[in-house]
Amino acid sequence: MEFCDECGSMMKTEGDMWVCGSCGAETPREAATESGMVTTQGQEAGEVVDLSDSEADARPTTEIQCVECDNDRAYWELKQIRAADESETRFFTCTECGHKWREDDH
């Protein structure tokens, strides 16, 4: 990838020149410099792995009683819902019934 010295825009290749799409500035291409550049051309597509089913299992859990189903396990997460100088609020989601609540709701 090359950037224009005149305006800072990204340049594209046209033959043996780098050409700026914004201001039209041109710079000669140098094979030695370009040999260290990484391109996406010719790269093989990797295997796409769907993690959506395992995503819930990756969340941290803790021992806490659900008021809806009496299950004793819940996922938890911290969120900043007030001003930055205030502490985070912990949210729970029951691992059995999916009931959601905040730490101060109980």
89 is in an annotated binding site: no
94 is an annotated ligand-binding site residue: yes
Q: 104 labelled as ligand-binding?
A: no
Distance of alpha carbon 49 from alpha carbon 58, whole angstroms: 15
Is 69 marked as binding a ligand?
yes
**Based on the number of CB atoms within 10 Å of its own CB, is 14 exposed (0-12), middle (13-18) or buried (19 or more)?**
exposed
User: Is 4 annotated as contributing to ligand binding?
Assistant: yes
97 labelled binding-site residue: yes
Q: Which residues are annotated as a binding site?
A: 4, 7, 20, 23, 66, 69, 94, 97
Residues at the annotated binding site for Zn(2+)? 4, 7, 20, 23, 66, 69, 94, 97
